[in-house]
Structure 1
Amino acid sequence: MPTNTNRAELRDFLRSRRARVSPEDVGIPATVRRRTPGLRREEVAQLAGVGITWYTWLEQGRPINVSSQVLDAVARTLILDAAERDHLYRLAEVPQPPVISDPPTELPGHLDTVLEALDPLPAMLVDARTDVLRWNRAYAALHPALVSAPPGKRNTLWQLFAAPEGQPRIVNRDEQAPEAVAGFRYRYSQNAGDPRWQDFVARLRTASPLFSRLWTTHDVAPPHLCDKRYDITGIGEVSLRATSMELTDHPGVRLVVQTPADRRSRENIDRLLRQATHL
């Protein structure tokens, strides 16, 4: 049941969206001149397949029960885009059904310039499933086996639980592992119907008994970034603090920048980059 504040917002939002849709937009012939622009309430109710009284109460913000199926019908009738549909669900305080995420579209070239400008800080672009999409020189020097892995394993969660040979050892993996799995399940629940996510989980459970055990706990938490401590052969320990920024024009894609947490880590990163330059 929406709160009083949300009911008022819901009322105003539905009225504004109804006024925006012309009869011609939904296949209703314009026969007589209308006093107000847009659709009438009874037209929205008829097109959405709901009762006129029920829709009137919804638009008036009355305390009625609302289902996701009915909200979807109203959203289609009012020709809401994805952002408006999400807004409608939030105002009605109805949990959204799982959303199958589309694969990230081709990323524009200027993002490579951004990544390069962040050197010597390791930086990457990563999607909701933690697949690594792009990276800079410093990230490649820190994770050579990861960036050269095939797409199905070029993934930070795969690195944490089934790191291939040549990857730096994550010193604080026991601390990070439960948090990483809980955060991943939070995103998984929004994409549970997507066979790509299901396949990834099945492969990782086979590859990592630890991941499989943690997955069966069903722990879930909003994702958050933690410090990672790496032990790099021939270099020493490096502690990195991650900062994540969403790309507004590519939903689900994040820019993650890793910053040395102390002087020793910064010096070791510099040594690693000098070593990589001479290879």
Structure 2
Amino acid sequence: MTELADFLRASRSRVHPGDVGFAADAKPRRVPGLRREEVAQLANVSVDYLVRLEQGRTTNVSRGVLESLADALQLAPDAREYLLTIAGPADPAPPVGEVRDQTRRLLASLDLPALVVGRALDVLAWNPVAAALFAEFGALEPERRNMVRMVFLDPDYRAMVADWPQVARECVACLRRDAGHYPDDPRLAALVEEVSAADPDFRTWWVDHRVRMAGFRRKTFLHPRVGPVTVDSQRLGVETDPGQFVVVYSAEPGSASEAALRSLAEMALTG
């Protein structure tokens, strides 16, 4: 229950007392956020019970208590879902699985950049336009085809991401969510250990325990061949292969970014 304990403490530190009805203190607080007593009061649990939760000494927490804690800590939907996940039994990590031919044909049919992404943001398949926008994935070793590694450890890719801090934090938040679902996955643990050792920002954001589901995003890339490109990403689940998602990137119609994507598609077509 270490993950649950860490998450509760981190979430408590982010709630401003005034936002949940507590008057300002005459003296500065020793720690940021809510005190345990205040969380216990808001969630209608005993302080001793909350202490045991935050020390990892309590298991089999009821859903009602978890929902009350989520309300007290003002958790967003992604974080609420994560709390319910880490409080329950760990899911076995499913096998990576091959990308089906039907899915690959779908990628190949698109004029827009598209990827198949798996657990821990592994890039499992891509179309030529995606390779032209992001990186030549085929030239990378399979274990290096991972968006977290690229964002934090690839200097060329990192320099291309205009809003790098935001994108990097979102990567960490998505990875944290996967870690909550599959805490015993050795591949995911190895990825966290590798990037933590190499990047201080990753280490800081990882222990912050922020969680976010991968979904609609807007990103800007400073592409070395076509200039700035602002794209919206949409993640679509592959129904026949749980854990795989098709991510498609598009630009506003009539925009310079749409023209840049067309140029990348033409470059990809001509090699």
Give the TM-score normalised by structure 2.
0.63
Q: Does structure 1 residue 112 correspond to structure 2 residue 104?
A: yes
Q: Which whole-Å CA distance do the structure 2 matches of 1:96 and 1:219 have between them? A: 19
Residue in structure 1 matching 2:149, options 146, 158, 174:
158
The number of residue pairs the alignment matches comes to 189
Residue in structure 2 matching 1:224, options 211, 215, 218:
215
Are 2:93 and 2:184, in contact at CA under 8 Å, matched by a contact in 1? Answer: no
> 1:237 offset after TM fit, Å?
0.3
- Of residues 125-134 and 215-224 in structure 1, the stretch that sits farther from structure 2 once superposed is 215-224
Query: 1:227 aligns to what SS in structure 2?
Result: strand
Q: Does structure 1 residue 100 correspond to structure 2 residue 92?
A: yes
Residue in structure 2 matching 1:175, options 156, 166, 169:
166
Instruction: Detail structure 1 runs of 4+ shifted over 3 Å in the superposition.
Output: 164-168, 221-225, 275-279
Are 2:233 and 2:249, in contact at CA under 8 Å, matched by a contact in 1? Answer: yes
Query: 1:110 aligns to what SS in structure 2?
Result: helix
Q: 1:94 to 1:144 in 2, by over 3 A?
A: closer
Q: Does structure 1 residue 187 correspond to structure 2 residue 157?
A: no
Are 2:86 and 2:180, in contact at CA under 8 Å, matched by a contact in 1? Answer: no
Larger radius of gyration: 1
Q: Which whole-Å CA distance do the structure 1 matches of 2:261 and 2:86 have between them? A: 47
> 1:136 offset after TM fit, Å?
0.7
Q: Which whole-Å CA distance do the structure 2 matches of 1:141 and 1:110 have between them? A: 22
> 1:168 offset after TM fit, Å?
6.5
Are 2:173 and 2:209, in contact at CA under 8 Å, matched by a contact in 1? Answer: yes
The aligned residue for residue 227 of structure 2 is 236
> 1:147 offset after TM fit, Å?
4.3
Alignment of 1:6-25 (within 5 A): none
- Consecutive unaligned residues in structure 1, runs of 5 or more: 1-65, 69-92
Q: Which whole-Å CA distance do the structure 2 matches of 1:209 and 1:223 have between them? A: 23
Larger RCO (CA under 8 A, 6+ residues apart): 2
What CA deviation, in whole Å up to 9, does each residue of 1:121-168 have, x standing for no partner?
A: 000111021100011111111123444221222011222222253677
Q: Which whole-Å CA distance do the structure 2 matches of 1:250 and 1:216 have between them? A: 31
- Consecutive unaligned residues in structure 2, runs of 5 or more: 1-58, 62-84
Query: 1:248 aligns to what SS in structure 2?
Result: coil
Alignment of 1:37-56 (within 5 A): none
> Percent identity among equivalent residues?
25
The aligned residue for residue 207 of structure 1 is 198
Aligned-CA RMSD value: 2.5
* 2:265 partner amino acid: L
The aligned residue for residue 252 of structure 2 is 261
Give the TM-score normalised by structure 1.
0.61
The aligned residue for residue 78 of structure 2 is none
